[in-house]
C-alpha cells in the first residue's frame, strides 16, 4: 500500500483509502467505487459524511471493518452543476454492537476537515480520524484536463 494513503498511527488504527479522488460527468452523473482497508490491529467503525447530499448517494454510510479486511464504498452522483465536493471517511475504534451507536455520542461536525488524514477527540474521549475523498464533477474531456495541467 502506498504510504501516503495510510494514516500514520501508533494507536492500532490505520485505514487505506483508494482512490482518494473521484471524477464524474456533471451533466450525466456517474458512479465510483473506492476500497477501504483496515491495515491496523483494531476493529474500526466507519461513518461517511458528504458535503452535498442532494447530488451524491453513498453506500454504506455506517460500517464496521475488522483488521486486515476490506470494504467497497460506492458513490453515485446525479446530474447537476460542475463543482468540487468532498466526502469524509470518519473512523475510530469502538466496542459498540451497532455502528450508528458509536457515532451517536457526539455531534462533532467534520465536513470542514483538511485534505489529509486528521484526528480529533470527541467528548467521550474516543479518537476519531478522518480521510478526505475529493468529488470532482466536470464536463471537460480528459485530454483537456491533462492539457490544462501541462500548460501551467
**pLDDT tens-digit map of 81-131:** 999 999 999 999 988 899 999 888 655 544 444 445 555 554 555 688 999
DSSP 4: G
Query: Which grid coordinates are listed for 2?
Result: 502506498
> pLDDT higher for 149 or 3?
149
Note the pLDDT of residue 85: 96
* Higher-scoring residue by pLDDT: 136, 148: 136
Please state the domain extents for the chain: 3-150
Specify the residue for cell string 448517494: 57
Reported as a pLDDT band with limits 50, 70 and 90, residue 11 is low
Residue 151 has pLDDT above 50, yes or no: yes
Tell me: the pLDDT tens digits for 20-74? 999 999 999 999 999 999 999 999 999 999 999 999 999 999 999 999 999 999 9
Please list the helix, strand and coil fractions of the chain in percent, rounded to the nearest 5, in that order: 10, 45, 45
CATH architecture of 3-150: Sandwich (2.60)
Cell digits of residue 106 = 457526539
Place of cell 460527468: 25
The span from the CA of 91 to the CA of 126, in Å, is 10
Grid cell digits, residue 65: 471493518
Residue 102: other Cβ atoms inside 10 A: 24
Contact 36, 49 (CB under 8 A): no
Q: Which residue has the higher pLDDT, 12 or 95?
A: 95
Given a contact cutoff of 8 angstroms between Cβ atoms, the answer to whether 74 and 61 are in contact is: no
Mean pLDDT of 14-22: 95
Amino acid at each position: 500500500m502506498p504510504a501516503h494513503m495510510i494514516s500514520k498511527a501508533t494507536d492500532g488504527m490505520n485505514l487505506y483509502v483508494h482512490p482518494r479522488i473521484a471524477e464524474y460527468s456533471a451533466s450525466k452523473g456517474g458512479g465510483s467505487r473506492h476500497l477501504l482497508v483496515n491495515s491496523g490491529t483494531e476493529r474500526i467503525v466507519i461513518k461517511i459524511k458528504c458535503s452535498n447530499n442532494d447530488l451524491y448517494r453513498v453506500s454504506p454510510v455506517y460500517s464496521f471493518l475488522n483488521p486486515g479486511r476490506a470494504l467497497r464504498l460506492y458513490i453515485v452522483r446525479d446530474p447537476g452543476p460542475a463543482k468540487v465536493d468532498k466526502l469524509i471517511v470518519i473512523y475510530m475504534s469502538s466496542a459498540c454492537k451497532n455502528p450508528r451507536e458509536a457515532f451517536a455520542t457526539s455531534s462533532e461536525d467534520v465536513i470542514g476537515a483538511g485534505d489529509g488524514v486528521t484526528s480529533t477527540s470527541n467528548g467521550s474521549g474516543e479518537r476519531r480520524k478522518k480521510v478526505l475523498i475529493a468529488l470532482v464533477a466536470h464536463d471537460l474531456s480528459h485530454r483537456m484536463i491533462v492539457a490544462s495541467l501541462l500548460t501551467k
